[in-house]
Amino acid sequence: MHQSNVVTVGIGQCGVQSMGRYWRTLIREHDLSDSGWQIVNCEDLSAMVHFTEHSQNKFTPRCLFMDLDATTNEVIQTSSIKDLFGPHSFASGQISAANCYARGRFSTGKMILNDASNKYRRLVEECDRQIGVMKVSSLAGGTGSGFTNLFFSENPIPKAIQSTSIELAPSAAFATSTTAYYNTVLQFNEGYDSFRYHILFDNLTLYKRCLMEGVSDVSYVHLNDVLAQVISSFTVSMRFAGTMDCSLEKLATNLVPFPAMKYILSSTSRLGTKMKPIDHKISCNQMTCQLFKKSHRLFSERFEEGLFFACNLQYRGKIAISEVHKAINKVRKIYSPKFTQWCKTGFKIANCWKPTCLPTDSFFQGNPGSVVMLTNNTVVTKSLKTFGTLFDKMFHERACVYWYVSEGLEEGEFPDAREYLETITQAYDQEEKNHDKPFE
């Protein structure tokens, strides 16, 4: 039997570091040692979605870490999981894109393009039956924005293959550069067609989430462990057999009703930390209700202020379907989520027996039962409008524009990119307006 395969790429510091935590999570879930040896000898094919079995019982992640600044990759290459990866898993440059989209897209990015493309094609060729590409990066970084667009313009993902982009959006209170909003808006514009859907997170919300879970000195490792939990939850159904599965294709069909409205938000039930564990058996009702609480979402905007197109609920652990339906009825009563007039069913449900596993050194503890929600909600436009306003303020003064122009970007691309952002925002706004009209 051929198992479906997914190729995963991490781009720039954020992409590489968060993918590093994801692979640490996956080796726990698939009972592999730090160097990829199978600990429990079994016929289980679940690991083949993300790993290649290069020699008997030795599994190598089907992944590529790309960064224009070599230091991020070097941290993984010298860490305790260094032997998990092969030499073809890394493409590193000499100098970063210095927070400038144009450097990643037109100048320094080109220095690693050939090497990265060759390694990527090799991964694709090794697949038995490739069904997806999953990419993680920040929108704010020069590499995460500019190099991502360069790379996928050279290596477009065929339409038959599901393309998922996981993106760290900038949040002003957590910004590490002044050009974050230029990079984000430019990335959206040129990369609009590269991925079927984009799952958005922001660090400020992830940070608040870590505090709520009882983490005191929050670091990127903590934020990345939260990300890794969510990513592993929406890939778990593809990896382990379950009564109600959900593949990347099903996610796309259910969550993206129109091609332009493809920005997905998420929330999760409590993760539990070693400092603040979940000390009782959490019921399906409780965990489902948590998804709709402000403190449990993983993107800044409040879902209840927008209109839901659809919600995908991925449960993990032993959960009865009757319990899930009861829980959803309860959510409808308590939180009254507003759905579009043309889709009243709203919820896509998946369940997989495999509970959450965490890296051995993680601060989080996990829980036998958990649920992650991915949702398409018009409230995303609030953030898109903020990106636009902050972009406009800088561009009005032409601040920093010369850096972009000197690296090869035409100044006209700034207003073009801004216009594209406006188009997405208007599409979502139109749906909200339609909702207020009587339905024929």
Ligand X SMILES: Nc1nc2c(ncn2[C@@H]2O[C@H](COP(=O)(O)OP(=O)(O)OP(=O)(O)O)[C@@H](O)[C@H]2O)c(=O)[nH]1
Query: Could you say which of 7, 9, 84, 97 contacts ligand X (CB under 6 A)?
Result: 97
C-alpha–C-alpha distance, residues 316 and 301, integer Å: 25
Residue linked to tokens 């996990």: 366
| Minimum distance, C-beta of residue 341 to ligand X, in the bound complex (Å) | 36
| Minimum distance, C-beta of residue 37 to ligand X, in the bound complex (Å) | 27
| Minimum distance, C-beta of residue 212 to ligand X, in the bound complex (Å) | 16
| Minimum distance, C-beta of residue 369 to ligand X, in the bound complex (Å) | 26
Regarding 98 and contact with ligand X (CB under 6 A), the answer is yes
Query: Which residue number, 252 or 298, has a Cβ lying nearer to ligand X?
Result: 298
Query: Could you say which of 11, 25, 69, 264 contacts Mg ion (CB under 5 A)?
Result: 69
| Full DSSP string of 322-391 | HHHHHHHHHHHHHH-PPBPTT----EEEEEES------TT-SB---SSEEEEEEEETTHHHHHHHHHHHH
**From 62-70, 123-131, 306-314, 420-428, span contacting ligand X (CB under 6 A):** 62-70
Strand-pair partners of 163: 133
Footprint of ligand X on residues 21-40 (CB under 6 A)?
none
Integer CA distances (angstroms), 264 to 169, 198, 200, 274, in order: 12, 6, 6, 30
Footprint of Mg ion on residues 9-38 (CB under 5 A)?
13
Query: Which residue number, 96 or 232, has a Cβ lying nearer to Mg ion?
Result: 96
Query: Which residue number, 17 or 314, has a Cβ lying nearer to Mg ion?
Result: 17
Query: Which residue number, 13 or 137, has a Cβ lying nearer to Mg ion?
Result: 13
C-alpha–C-alpha distance, residues 180 and 138, integer Å: 10
| Minimum distance, C-beta of residue 68 to ligand X, in the bound complex (Å) | 5
Residues 6+ apart with CB under 8 A from 164: 132, 133, 134, 135, 195, 196, 197, 199, 248, 251
**From 13-21, 151-159, 261-269, 339-347, span contacting ligand X (CB under 6 A):** 13-21
Regarding 176 and contact with ligand X (CB under 6 A), the answer is yes
Locate 403 and state its tokens: 């850096």
Footprint of Mg ion on residues 255-294 (CB under 5 A)?
none
Footprint of ligand X on residues 355-394 (CB under 6 A)?
none
Regarding 194 and contact with Mg ion (CB under 5 A), the answer is no
What are residue 61's phi and psi, to 5 degrees? -60, 140
Query: Which residue number, 220 or 335, has a Cβ lying nearer to ligand X?
Result: 220
Regarding 73 and contact with Mg ion (CB under 5 A), the answer is no
Torsion of CA 6, 124, 17, 59, to 10 degrees: 70
Query: Could you say which of 10, 93, 109, 142 contacts ligand X (CB under 6 A)?
Result: 142
SS3 137: strand
Q: Indicate the burial class of 355 (C-beta count within 10 angstroms; 0-12, 13-18, 19 or more).
A: middle
| Minimum distance, C-beta of residue 263 to ligand X, in the bound complex (Å) | 18
Locate 353 and state its tokens: 């027996």
Query: Which residue number, 51 or 65, has a Cβ lying nearer to Mg ion?
Result: 65
Q: How many CB atoms lie within 10 A of CB 124?
A: 16
| Minimum distance, C-beta of residue 180 to ligand X, in the bound complex (Å) | 6
| Minimum distance, C-beta of residue 130 to ligand X, in the bound complex (Å) | 25
| Full DSSP string of 299-324 | SSS-GGGS-EEEEEEEEESS--HHHH
Residue linked to tokens 């069904």: 131
Query: Could you say which of 4, 5, 13, 378 contacts ligand X (CB under 6 A)?
Result: 13
Footprint of ligand X on residues 289-308 (CB under 6 A)?
none
What are residue 217's phi and psi, to 5 degrees? -95, 85
Please name the amino acid found at residue 191: G
Instruction: Answer for the pair 372, 314: CB distance below 8 angstroms, yes or no.
Output: yes
170 binds, among ligand X, Mg ion, none (CB under 5 to 8 A by kind): ligand X
Footprint of Mg ion on residues 85-104 (CB under 5 A)?
96
| Minimum distance, C-beta of residue 311 to ligand X, in the bound complex (Å) | 24
Query: Could you say which of 7, 14, 150, 282 contacts ligand X (CB under 6 A)?
Result: 14
What are residue 32's phi and psi, to 5 degrees? -110, 150
Number of residues written out for the chain? 440
Query: Could you say which of 8, 17, 165, 187 contacts ligand X (CB under 6 A)?
Result: 17
**From 37-45, 91-99, 369-377, 406-414, span contacting ligand X (CB under 6 A):** 91-99
Per-position x/- string for 183-212, each x denoting binding to ligand X as judged by CB under 6 A, each - no binding: --------------------x---------
Residues of this chain that interact with ligand X (CB under 6 A) are 12-14, 17-18, 67-69, 96-99, 138, 140-144, 168, 170, 174, 176, 203, 220, 223-224
